[in-house]
Structure 1
Amino acid sequence: MAKGKKGGSKGKKITLKMARKALRVTPEGKRRLDLSNMGIDIFPKCLLKLTDLEEVDLSRNQLKRIPDFIGQLIGVLFLDLHSNYIEQLPKSIGQLESLCHLNLCNNSLDSAGLPADIGNLKSLQTLNLGMNRITALPPTMASLSSLKELALFDNMITVLPECIRMLPKLKKINIKRNPIAYAQKDAKDTKATEGLYLVREDDLCKLCLEKCREKKQRQERTQFFDQSQRRGRLSGLITPNSVARSNHESRR
């Protein structure tokens, strides 16, 4: 990595020639650009001239900012930006209507860095937001009608976001190591919350559905008792995870 004039480090600049050399065709026939782990600190604008790109890997670099022109990469199906220093996504991210897979794991995103426009990604099937500083999700994410898998592990979420309940195709969610787990009373509840899987009621047989509802009712009664015992000591935190528990049990 080259040194800057003032002694600071300077990221590698990617030219169109370098980008074309990094192009590969996957076994599935997709045109993939792999620029991972190259010390890049500025999103390469030359990518706009590669109009047939379908997969872009810019992971393990030094990116802090994603430019507005990313919205012009309308043909990209797979975008991997994990292990950078990204603090905020531009509103134009919502213009990637063909995007199916987005990996933003291990960055510096907080809730303010997630624009409402992310809800416009109608083709998105997997979204990895793990290892960031997120406390809440934009309500517009309820519009991600194709989303099947959502990773939120190692964040700062205290209550399971309500918008998750409205995702029609969501099958798997990973919320391990969030403060939401620490608010549960016993290890059983913590383990169940961390390994949460979402299932629509229509997918369950009648017997399984009845068992889930009975268990939910038992937990609600236990929770009510616990709350009454702790009311004086934690008056401001009476039901911090009631929604999370209800969602988990009703969708198992």
Structure 2
Amino acid sequence: METIEREPNRMAQAVANVARRINATMEEQRDSLDLSDCGLVSFPDGVFKMIRSCTDNIQKISLANNQIKALSNKFFLTFTQLREVDLQGNVLTTLPEAVANMQHLISIDLSRNKLRVFPERLTDVSSLQHISVEGNQITDGRRCGRNIQRVSVRKFEAEPQRNLKDV
């Protein structure tokens, strides 16, 4: 009986933690939202509603070290001013099509996820300067497209940083 009672309590604490972080971002008019290490399996719909008034101010979001399986198009269509996205340490296998519309995105960290194929939609993001995909199981870097060779890509921890054309 104790373990059954602990689980809802843990979930309630996680929800309260997310709400506190969102409120702090809004009250302090921060340009970043840190929801790392919150035990999330997806980006909560409630966050879109809570933060609706300041999405244009958000330039950096960290969702690192959660259990996020997928992000919706809505995420990238809502946070259009993002310059940095930290998604490391999740279980993402792909990115939604809307990531291609991120006109201000400079850096995206996708390290330690479950990617098997390089997210080709990132090749459409002309502002992108840094992509980290180390710790994934990407087997064919040649499928990333020619127009992303200007981007610094980190593929494996043991290898030095290099341009995508070298991958």
Which TM-score band applies after superposition, normalised by the shorter structure? 0.7 to 0.9
2: CA distance, partners of 1:124 / 1:140 = 13
SS in 1 for 2:68: coil
**Contiguous gaps of at least 5 residues in structure 2:** none
Distance 1:16 1:79, change over 3 A: closer
RMSD value, Cα: 3.1
How far apart are the structure 1 equivalents of 2:18 and 2:156? 40
Partner residue of 1:150 out of 106, 131, 136: 131
Q: What aligned pairs does 1:174-193 form with structure 2 within 5 A after superposition?
A: 174-176=154-156
Give the CA deviation at 1:121.
Answer: 1.1
Post-superposition offset of 1:54: 1.1
Matches within 5 A, 1:212-227: none
Paired residue for 1:98? 81
CA contact (8 A) 1:127 1:151 kept: yes
Q: Does residue 197 of the first structure (1) align with residue 162 of the second (2)?
A: yes
Alpha-carbon distance between aligned partners in 2 of 1:116 and 1:16, rounded to the nearest angstrom: 26
* 1:19–1:80 Cα change, 3 Å: closer
Alignment partner, residue 248 of structure 1: 166
| Letter of the structure 2 residue corresponding to residue 102 of structure 1 | V
User: CA, structure 1 residues 59+147, in 2 after alignment: closer, same or farther (shift >3 Å)?
Assistant: same
Q: Is 1:140 the counterpart of 2:121 in the alignment? A: yes
Residue 32 of structure 2 contacts residue 61 of structure 2 at CA under 8 Å; is this kept in 1?
yes
Partner of 2:59: 77
Q: How high is the TM-score relative to the length of structure 1?
A: 0.53
Contact 1:128 1:151 in 2 (8 A): yes
Paired amino acid for 2:66: N
Q: Percent identity?
A: 19
CA separation in 1, counterparts of 2:125 and 2:148?
A: 7
Which structure's CA Rg is the greater one?
1
1:173 is the counterpart of 2:141: no
Indicate conservation of the 8 Å contact 1:11/1:62, yes or no: no
Which secondary structure does the structure 2 equivalent of 1:10 belong to?
helix
Q: Tell me if structure 2 keeps the 8 A contact 1:59–1:82.
A: yes
Gaps of 5+ in 1: 24-32, 34-46, 178-190, 199-243
Whether 2:69 is the aligned partner of 1:87: answer yes
AA at the equivalent of 1:151? S
Specify which structure has the bigger relative contact order, considering alpha-carbon pairs within 8 angstroms and separated by 6 or more residues.
2
Secondary structure of 2:131 counterpart: strand
1:159, distance to aligned residue in structure 2 (A): 0.8
Residue 7 of structure 1 and its aligned partner are, at CA, apart by 4.6
1:155–1:11 Cα change, 3 Å: farther
C-alpha separation in 2, matches of 1:167 and 1:143: 8
Amino acid at match of 1:62: G
Q: Does 1:130 align with 2:118?
A: no
Question: Is contact 1:116–1:141 with CA below 8 Å preserved after alignment?
Answer: no
Distance 1:4 1:76, change over 3 A: farther
Contact kept, 8 Å, 1:116 with 1:138, in 2: the verdict is no
CA separation of 1:164 and 1:56: change in aligned 2, threshold 3 A: farther
Corresponding letter in the other structure for 1:195:
P
Offset of residue 165 of structure 1: 3.1
Q: Is the 8 A contact 1:122 1:143 kept in 2?
A: no
